[in-house]
Structure 1
Amino acid sequence: MKFCSSCGAPVRLRIPSGDSLPRHVCDQCGTIHYRNPKVVVGALAEWEDRILLCRRAIEPRYGAWTLPAGFMENEESTAQAAARETWEEACAHIELGAMYTLIDVPHISQVHIIYRARLLDLDFRPGDESLEVALFGEKDIPWDRIAFRTIALTLQHYFDDRRKGAWPFHNLVIGAPPAPGPRP
């Protein structure tokens, strides 16, 4: 960041008073510009024993498969974001269930949240960001063409949990640095 979005003056990277991390600070108007993680939200939409997947029509991972998901917008809840993304990517009507996975991805400053959902009908089609959408049973999932590690982990937990008949909430971290201290 080079200029203040409030007044247009140059900003400097420094630790503001009362803070512990470097921030872009405007010396002219005093605005402190915080850069925070992005939240990605989506839905694991079920129809009988199958899951709705979308094949991406955009980068990154053009042509790979994913759950319908995307960046949360301002002034919406995570549940609203999951339903909106499912509509935008798969034109699918869903009934949202419980939050199923929350996956921290600190190396890219993102948090991924996936809800379980139930497809209300089979009237779905690709949205602008999808090449195609389809229902997949576990044995038919294109595991080698899943777009993101967070989606693969969510799907793996889902099928494991379904076999067990238990639906715990999964709070995971991907790419976390090792804990400080001696190693065995």
Structure 2
Amino acid sequence: MNFCSNCGAPVEIRIPAGNSHPRHVCPQCGTIHYQNPKLVVGALAEWEDRILLCRRAIEPRHGYWTLPAGFMENEETTAEAAARETAEEACARIAVGELYTLIDVPHISQVHLIYRARLLDLDFRAGEESLDVALFREEDIPWEQIAFRSIGLTLRHFFDDRRRGHWSFHSASLAPPPAA
């Protein structure tokens, strides 16, 4: 950030009184600009013994598979965000269930929230951000082509829980990936 969104003056980085982190502060009008983590919200949508996955048509991870998910918008609940993202990416209608995973991804300042959901029908297709959309049984999941570690972790929890016949809420924090 170079300029204050309140008055347009150049900002400086400093630790304001009462804060513990450096912030963008406007010396002209005194506005403190907070930059907070982004919420990525999605759905693990089920149909019988299969899970809905989308093959990404956008970066990052173009061509890789993921659950329908994306950034939460202002003025919506997390459950509404899960349903909206599923509609946008898979043109699918879902009944949103309980929050299933909450995964902190601090090295990119994100929190990933994935809800369990039920597909309402089989009327789905690739949306603008998807190359393809398909239902997968566990044995058919393209594990080596899963776009994000948080999605792989969510899927593994899901299939483990399903085998046990016991559903649990899962929370985790992901460390940065190893350097290539």
Q: Unmatched 5+ residue regions in structure 1?
A: 177-184
Please name the residue that 2:79 is paired with.
Answer: 79
Once the two structures are superposed, residues 75-108 of structure 1 have per-residue CA deviations (whole angstroms, 9 ceiling, x without a partner) of 1110010000000000001000000000000011
Once the two structures are superposed, residues 23-56 of structure 1 have per-residue CA deviations (whole angstroms, 9 ceiling, x without a partner) of 0100111100000001000000000000000000
Please name the residue that 1:182 is paired with.
Answer: none
Please name the residue that 2:41 is paired with.
Answer: 41
Give, in angstroms, the shift of residue 67 of structure 1: 0.2
Once the two structures are superposed, residues 126-152 of structure 1 have per-residue CA deviations (whole angstroms, 9 ceiling, x without a partner) of 000000100000000000000000000
- Give structure 1 regions of 4+ aligned residues with deviation exceeding 2 angstroms: none
CA distance in 1, matches of 2:94, 2:39: 21
After superposition, residues 33-182 of structure 1 pair within 5 angstroms as 33-175=33-175
Please name the residue that 2:21 is paired with.
Answer: 21
TM-score (ref. length: structure 1): 0.95
CA distance in 2, matches of 1:2, 1:128: 33
One-letter code aligned to 1:73: E
One-letter code aligned to 2:58: I
Number of residues of Structure 1 aligned to a counterpart in Structure 2:
176
CA distance in 1, matches of 2:148, 2:81: 19
* Equivalent position SS for 1:153: helix
TM-score (ref. length: structure 2): 0.97
CA distance in 1, matches of 2:8, 2:49: 55
* Equivalent position SS for 2:171: strand
CA distance in 2, matches of 1:64, 1:20: 39
RMSD of the TM alignment (CA)? Answer: 0.7
CA distance in 1, matches of 2:144, 2:17: 49
Identity of aligned residues (%): 77
Q: Unmatched 5+ residue regions in structure 2?
A: none
